Structure 1
Amino acid sequence: MSYPINFKNIHPEVDFYSELDAAHRKAEDYLLGFKWCAEIKDCFLYYNLGEIFSIFLFEIENTQSAGDRFLWIIVGDIPSMYLDIYGTKSTVEVVEDYIKLAADWIVNVRARKSVEDCYPFDAEPKIELANLLAKRIAFMKDALLNNMDEVALHINA
């Protein structure tokens, strides 16, 4: 399977096909939860482990910053995250950024410090959640990063 795939072209031969609709819906709901996301214009699947972990690239109408039309969205059995495309140019970089931002949040939660300056995960800053997220990012470091294809950002801007 060759990525990226425009989500409009997803078909039953795509890995984790039965889970992709739920992962896509989760990504859409997450993105539409932000006031600045007025509309979703298009979506591309860049990495796919179904509901476990998926990376999408969305094109949106951004009411706060017209230049920020494209955003990476990471969803799965982890707190969702969006990243802009300016510093993050591939799927590997998306995962590396997720790991760094999550690690910062985990350190602050475990130290009982404020998470105000951390990435704004939609998760309660509790030790139990920090420990669960730490296990997920350990998996991302140990298994995912070493085995995933690096798919470069490709947009028709």
Structure 2
Amino acid sequence: MLHVWKPENILIFYDWVSDIKGEYLGYGADGIIYIFLFEIVPGRPEVDPWIWVIVGDVPPTYLPAVDAKTPYEALDGYIGAM
């Protein structure tokens, strides 16, 4: 069964996210996987304001954008972590 998470729900759960400033679709394979880039207001000084969020018919996750500069690098990091 396909369960697509709302990407912003992945971030607002955490206390290190004070607010979401912007959301940008980096890549989408309809019904399979979606990669979003979020600009956040960090709740802590050590948190980067740019975060990738991966959702779709896959386990949802987030990755700091400093570790991946493009949606394809984010996907590669996701695959490597899983």
TM range (shorter): 0.7 to 0.9
Partners of 1:73 and 1:97 in 2: CA distance: 12
Shift of the 51–28 alpha-carbon distance from structure 1 to 2, 3 Å rule, reads: farther
Shift of the 38–50 alpha-carbon distance from structure 1 to 2, 3 Å rule, reads: farther
> In structure 1, what is the equivalent of residue 36 of structure 2?
56
Aligned length: 80
> In structure 1, what is the equivalent of residue 54 of structure 2?
74
> In structure 1, what is the equivalent of residue 68 of structure 2?
88
| Aligned positions of 1:2-151 closer than 5 A | 26-65=6-45, 68-102=48-82
Query: Following TM superposition, where does structure 1 have runs of at least 4 consecutive aligned residues deviating by more than 3 angstroms?
Result: none
SS of structure 2 residue aligned to 1:68: coil
CA contact (8 A) 2:50 2:65 kept: yes
Deviations 1:1-25 (A, max 9, x none): xxxxxxxxxxxxxxxxxxxxxx5x6
What TM-score do the two structures reach when normalised by structure 1?
0.47
Partners of 2:33 and 2:65 in 1: CA distance: 19
Partners of 1:28 and 1:56 in 2: CA distance: 9
Letter in 2 for 1:64: R
Partners of 1:74 and 1:52 in 2: CA distance: 11
Higher normalized strand content (fraction of residues): 2
RMSD: 1.9
Partners of 2:39 and 2:70 in 1: CA distance: 16
Letter in 2 for 1:33: F
Partners of 1:51 and 1:39 in 2: CA distance: 27
Based on CA coordinates, which of the two structures has the bigger radius of gyration? 1
Identity %: 35
- The structure whose RCO (Cα within 8 Å, separation 6+) is larger is 2
Partners of 2:38 and 2:79 in 1: CA distance: 21
Partners of 2:56 and 2:76 in 1: CA distance: 16
